[in-house]
Amino acid sequence: MIQKILLLAVIIYISPFAQQRTPEEILEKVKAEFDKIDDYQVEVQVKVDVSFLKMPDRKAMIFYKKPDKFHIDSENFAMLPKAGMNFSPLGFLNYKYTAFMEKKDTIDGIPTLVIKVIPLEGSSEVILSTLWIDTNRNLILKIESSRKPQGTFTINLDYLKTSNGFWLPSSILFEFTIEGSGIPKRFGKEEESKTDNSKSESKQPETGKVYLKYSNYKVNEGLSDSIFDENNDK
């Protein structure tokens, strides 16, 4: 009788852990959710707030086609941090990695699991990424990442559900820190974006923010490969 009671107690104790998904399983769910999207195009409003780049607010059209085709269509569009403009969870998970659960957290009232991802391949630019994941919708709500040689950045994401049922970002706040020696002296065309050369030559770390607001998604409508031809870049 005592043995049965002890066995039952052990089963009750370990059952929550047995039912808990591993970090790898959670990340695979995130990848599978985004993998439902074959292509999309979307309008985006861009606001840049960095000390070394003066650029007016912009509007652009972004095109994506799996697995990694990406195109920005805008007149005289200045260079922006690629990880902010071209967001895809696959970009953080397309290499061999080890992952572990750090904690539970809440973002804007949404429960999340915080997972740290460390690449195992020496060729990866990513040193370490921390992901806040909404496991109910299998979406990444926040990312903190360190990359070489760009520095560190944070991405905060809000989502909308498209008319055909896909979750995609409605807005992204991209915050970054880069070493002064890594700041380009020119971002885009000179007449469109002015840099402060005294700051760009500084060795002090620089911080900045990029605000992206998305609207009018068109998803899985069969984008032509010609859209992504290098000759179409503007």
Does residue 5 fall inside a structural domain?
no
Distance between CA atoms of 211 and 204, rounded to whole angstroms? 23
Does residue 7 fall inside a structural domain?
no
**CA 11-14-17 angle, 5° bins:** 145
Does residue 16 fall inside a structural domain?
no
Cβ-contact 154, 107 below 8 angstroms: no
The tens digit of pLDDT for each residue in 69-88 reads 888 887 655 555 555 566 77
The tens digit of pLDDT for each residue in 8-67 reads 443 443 344 445 789 999 999 999 999 899 999 999 998 888 777 777 888 889 999 988
Residue-number span of the structural domain to which 124 is assigned: 21-232
The CA–CA distances, whole Å, from 132 to 30, 129, 228 equal: 11, 10, 31
Contacts 24+ apart (CB under 8 A), 186-190: 187/53, 187/55, 187/78, 187/79, 188/55, 188/76, 188/77, 188/78, 188/79, 189/76, 189/78
Indicate which CATH number applies to the domain containing 103.
2.50.20.10
What's the total number of domains in the chain? Answer: 1
For the chain, how many residues are written? 234
Cβ-contact 46, 80 below 8 angstroms: yes
